[in-house]
Amino acid sequence: MDREALKRAAAARAIEEIADGMVVGLGSGSTAEIAVELLAARRLQVVCVPTSERTAQLARNLGLALATLDEHPQLDLVIDGADQVERGTLNLVKGLGGALLREKIVASAARRMIVMVDDSKLVDRLGGGTPLPVEIVAYGWRSTLGRLERSGLQPTLRGGIERPFVTDGGNRIADCSIAAIEDPAGLESELSGLVGVIETGLFIGLASRVIVAGARGVEVIER
């Protein structure tokens, strides 16, 4: 199976968790968008809280009912993808799609977080070949990158100096190269304390269930 088919298989299993009457967080990224399309096809009576403007537009075009987190401060569940999933802990790296702040806010407001991935996203340790996205304020971004570098990371401003990537909240993303992360919670705490850092792509203890699609079928891993 190709990666697109694996994403679709994981998304199809994830939306089985959704029932009439639920308030559902909708993640961002390619797998989440497949899930949104499949959810709309089921024609359930649900209210959806999107994590990005792109997801919101897709859901609106497909006829899904949308609301804000202020209107529904607690969600039944959120369905989202991930860039890395650590075996054993189900800790995540997210943010390569650029919506990590809103994704984490929505995930933190949900009773359950269902993560959909293909098996290439499973790793023994976070980091390594996948950069860690860190959302930073636009003002003084060079200084913030310096602080990240002094913390042992190798940050790069996403999009470059001439055309930097801008998040839905008007912020910037620093993509940070890092070796295997031995202590994700410790790193999360350290980076969150740096001036200029808004949020990191480390999602610690948020995933309730990870749905993994591979050549042998779909596996569900519980935290």
* Interacting residues of 158 by C-beta distance below 8 A, sequence separation 6+: 98, 133, 164, 165, 172, 173, 174, 175
Catalytic (active site) residue 103: yes
What residue type is 10 in one-letter code? A
Q: In 37-183, where do the E strands start and end?
A: 47-50, 65-66, 77-80, 84-86, 92-93, 113-118, 122-123, 132-136, 154-157, 172-177
DSSP string, 30-59: HHHHHHHHHHHHHT---EEEESSHHHHHHH
Q: Distance between the two ends of the chain, CA-based, in angstroms?
A: 27
- Angle formed by the axes of helices 30-42 and 3-14, nearest 10°: 50
Of the candidates 17, 53, 71, 103, the residue annotated as catalytic is 103
CB 99 within 8 A of CB 167: yes
Per residue in 148-160, is it b (16+ CB within 10 Å) or e — as a string? Answer: beebebebebbee
Give the residue numbers annotated as catalytic, written as ranges. 103
